[in-house]
Every structure is written in C-alpha cells, then in structure tokens.
Structure 1
Amino acid sequence: MTVGAFLGKQTTEESVGVGVIRAHLERSLGALERAVRDSTILLTLENIANVISERLRAGNKLLIVGNGGSAADAQHVAAEIVGRYKRERPACAAIALTTDSSVLTAISNDYGFERVFVRQIEGLGVRGDVLLALSTSGRSPNILAALRAARTRGLVTIGFTGARGEAMGADCDHLLIAPSDETPIIQQIHLAVAHGICDALEQSLMN
C-alpha cells in the first residue's frame, strides 16, 4: 500500500467516525432542545428541585439508585451534593446505594438482586427522606421494588426515566420523562437536569 493510499483510507475512516459522532451530538442536542421547550418538564424539574432542597434543609437525606450507567450517575450526583457543585455551602446528606460492593453482593446473594436496593432503603431510609430512582427503561424490577419500599417507609419518591418509562410514575411522587427513547441520550439528559438541580439547590442553600 502506498503512502497516499494509506492516507486516503485513514481520511475516509476518520470521516465516517466524525459523521457518527456528529449524528449522536445532533440527536442529543435535539432531545435537550425538546426538554427546554417542554413546560411540563420544566415544572416537574422545579418541583423536584424544591422538594429536594426542602428535605435536605430539614435534615433529611437523598438516597439515589440506578443500574449500569445510571448507577454511575447516582454516584456522580451524590458526590455533587455531599461535596459541592459550584459554590461553597453547607454539606448535604446524599448516598448512592450503588457503590458498596460488600453490601451489594451480600444482599444480592442472600435476598436476590431485585431486593438489592430495597434492603438498603429499609436499613437507611426514614420518613421524610427522598429516593431518586434512575431507570432509562422505567421497568427495572429492582428500581420499581425500591420505589415501592420507599413509599411504604414515607420517603418522597422521584423517578428519572425515558419516553417509554411512563408506567414508572405509578410509584413516584414526581417523575421526569426525558424526551428520548435512546438509552445514552436519556442518561445525558438525566445528568444534565441533575446538574441543574444541584445548581438550584446551592442557590437555595445560600439564601
């Protein structure tokens, strides 16, 4: 293969890659724009931010659950709230129930994976706390079981899901439905709105 042929092949491959990336960014942008223009979504986010702020100010805690990429988002959001997002302010109580490998494996082994979050909610959750449940599909059995357990114990239940997860709302006091049915884009919207909630929370705590 000549140098020219090699460079030509490399350029073609790079162009294909760039096209795929551009298409993904365009779909992401489209979903974010739909969220920004949707008054129902914005009102839901305002209500969610207000209830989390109110409960944290009252000395309660935020428990966060999710599977896979949503588990990573749960850990991310907990870190922003316990530490800080942008501003120096009092620390708040948030726990991602997705991070303790001993707890996760013990519960899954002894009770089954469907109860991996339920058992932690039973041990850590008290009336007035908030459960934030992340599920792109809205159908994950362990997430739905967690929401039901939280309601039984008097926690405020908040769900983040995608366009096909509306049924999850049966177990939620507040439900955010990201305007996409594509898992990665749903997750991107979930994290973006979570950052917005963290920003609103910090402003509230500084007042």
Structure 2
Amino acid sequence: MTESPRETIERSLNDAAEGLARLRGEPALLDAIQRFAGAVVKAFSSGGKVLACGNGGSMSDAMHFAEEFSGRYRKDRKPLPALALNDPAHITCTANDYGFEYVFSRQVEALGKQGDVLLAISTSGNSPNVINAVVEAKKHGMVSVGLLGKGGGRLAELVDLPVIVPGETADRIQELHIKILHIVIEIVERNLVPENYEDS
C-alpha cells in the first residue's frame, strides 16, 4: 500500500530518532567518537591538519566537516587547517590519467604528513578510492579515521580508528555521520577554544 506524504514524514522522523537512540545506546561507538575527536585535537595542537574524503553524499559531509574548521562553527575563532579532497581539476585529471580509484590517494601523497589525520567517509566501507587513500595515509604516518556504516566493510580493518554507525541504508547512515561530525567539531572547539563555550 502506498503511504501518504504525512506517513512518509512521520516514518522518516521515527527512523532518524531510532538511529540516534541506537547510536546513544552503544558505549563502544561513543568511545570511538571520543577517540576520533581526540585525534583531531592532537593533530591541530601539534601543527598538523585534517584531510577528508568520500564519494557523493560522503564527499558533501567531508566538505562540511572541513569548512566548519577552516571557516567557522558557532562563533568566531582562528581558522583550523582542514581540507576536503574535492578539487575537481585534480579529480578529473587523476581519474583520466590514472583511474578514479586514485583520485584521493594522489592528494594524500602530495599533502599528507606524519601527525595529520585522514577522515575516510564511506557508508559501505568498501569504496576503492577511499581505501587507497587510507593505504597511502599509512605510508605517511597519518592517523586514519573511518566514518562508516553497514558493518564497516574493508575499511573497518584498515583504518586506525573505525567509527561504524548502525543502519543499512545510505541516507540513514549519512544522517548519523553528520551528527557525529558536529559532535566532533564541538569537542575539538571545547578543547582548543574553550572561551567560545563559557556561556554554555
């Protein structure tokens, strides 16, 4: 039976609420989020940076995460060095000359340094270009964080810090991903610019 628009709205909101409840109810996952934030704090505190990558909606999340640091989040502060690996000229050049599976790893090879963080976002955990980016990050002594779903896929075993959210469909997984990213940004800011949170 076809559901009405109102039923779709209510079901979608219920699904989202259920996902957040499951997220909150998994202590190991909450610990992983805390370690993720800690890795970013350490990188920024020691002069490092964050690189982020993903495909489709996950790239949008990578861009969102990076701009909240290099731009601003809630209040003014010094910009922090974070970059999404989304340069279209680089991506089309590398995809054309080497293959799409290398569009992120080539940028990691060029930009990554020991002590930096690579955020690898994949709802399946099996994206070849994201996997290659993680492999390259390890060569440079970077800390790799996987923001994943569907059990984590291959990336769960490759990254240093897997953060695997519950959910089977990309949309619900991505909704939890963006919540986690906002949480991490706030934790990082509370560590590095605590004065921005004196009234909260």
- TM-score class, shorter: over 0.9
Letter in 2 for 1:147: V
Does structure 1 residue 48 correspond to structure 2 residue 36?
yes
* 1:90 positional shift: 2.0
1:128 equivalenced with 2:91 (yes/no): no
1:205 aligned onto 2:192: yes
1:75 aligns with 2:63: yes
Name the amino acid aligned to 1:158: V
Partner of 1:4: none
Percent identity for Structure 1 against Structure 2: 36
Q: Which residue of 1 aligns with 2:142?
A: 155
Amino acid at match of 1:140: S
Correspondence 1:56-95 to 2 at 5 A: 56-95=44-83
Give the letter for the 1:23 counterpart: R
Q: Number of aligned residue pairs: give it.
A: 193
Contact 1:87-1:202 within 8 A present in 2 as well: no
1:97 counterpart residue number: 85
Shift of 1:117: 0.3
What is residue 32 of structure 1 aligned with on the other side?
A: 20
Question: Tell me, which stretches of 5 or more residues in structure 1 are unaligned?
Answer: 1-12
Superposition deviation, residue 166 in structure 1: 4.3
- Structure 2 unaligned residues grouped into runs of 5+: 195-200
Q: Does 1:146 align with 2:161?
A: no
Contact residue 89 and residue 202 of structure 1 kept, 8 A: no
Contact 1:130 1:158 in 2 (8 A): yes
Q: Secondary structure at the match of 2:150?
A: coil
Secondary structure class of the residue paired with 2:43? helix
3-state SS in 1 of match to 2:133: helix
- How many Å separate the matches in 1 of 2:182 and 2:131? 24
Residue of structure 1 in register with 2:178 after alignment: 191
**How far has the Cα of 1:91 moved from its partner?**
1.4
Deviant stretches of 4+, over 6 Å: none
Distance 1:184 1:101 in 2: 24
> Based on CA coordinates, which of the two structures has the bigger radius of gyration?
1
Q: Give the superposition deviation at 1:59.
A: 1.0
Indicate the SS of the match to 1:74: helix
Aligned CA RMSD, in angstroms, stands at 1.3
Q: Which amino acid counterpart does residue 65 of structure 1 have in structure 2?
A: C
- Given the two structures, how large is their TM-score scaled by the length of structure 1? 0.90
